[in-house]
Amino acid sequence: MIIGFIGTGHMGGSIALALGKGGAHRLLLHNRTEEKAARLQEAIGENAKVASFDEVASRADVLFLGVKPVDLDDVLKALPRLYGIVISMIAGVNLEEIAPLVGGAPLVRVLPNTPVAVGKGFTLVTFDASFSETRKKEVLDLLSPMGEVVEVTEDKLNPGGVLTGSAPAYLDYFVDALAEAGVSIGLTKEEATQYVLAMCEGVIALAKESGKSPKRLGEEVCSPGGSTIEGVQVLLERGLYSMVKEASLATYRKNQKMR
């Protein structure tokens, strides 16, 4: 199968890395900055090729669109007639807006996150009405090397994407903040980062396997009168829950205004 990418930024590049492993597919890569596509091709290997806009669009069996929302109209108007499946990675732009510009090509929207590059991503996907269950399964199987893939209705895509697509950045900053705290109490930054990342992996595994809510697990760490509850109390007094909610709402509102 030939898989094309128009736009190979962080998200498009992450998906290309996941789908390029194993050599099962031929990848055609196009980016406005050709050097970025060339670096990605080098990382993927011989089954990837930097290609022109027209070659990617006309040859791809599956075409991933990863352009900025403000550039979408110009990009789609420049496309030749499409015969393959079009998969949009563009946040805040729904299927109804894209459909008139792709000449009836089957349409899919995905909201992945950057861990797809290492096969540990979480991707939300929605299909237009033309897809049969059999054809949906073909697309889901194609995306499976990226990690977990969940089909949702389109109205769930943008709010879900805040938690799955944008919130990894929140977590990255929180991890770094913990590592900086570790430095302040005597660790090196490298040691602190290693410890925090290992801790996160264990916490997530326990939350998935225990059947308990994350809040309940947190409470179990906090012995009455102990040291952990002292730190948790600081987080709660400083407005942890309201801060996270406000950050998520800000991301969601911005997504609604991307076009």
Total residue length of the chain: 259
65-88: average pLDDT? 81
CATH of 160-256, one of 1.10.3730.10, 1.10.1040.50, 2.40.70.10, 1.10.287.1080: 1.10.3730.10
Taking phi over 0 as left and psi of -120 to 50 as alpha, with beta for the rest, 37 belongs to alpha
pTM above 0.85, yes or no: yes
CATH of 2-152, one of 3.90.730.10, 3.40.50.2000, 3.40.50.720, 1.10.760.10: 3.40.50.720
pLDDT per position as a tens digit, 131-170: 999 999 999 999 999 999 999 999 999 999 999 999 999 9
Residue whose structure tokens are 């998906």: 15
Q: Locate the domains of the chain by residue range.
A: 2-152, 160-256
pLDDT reported for residue 259: 61
Q: What percent of the chain has pLDDT over 70?
A: 98
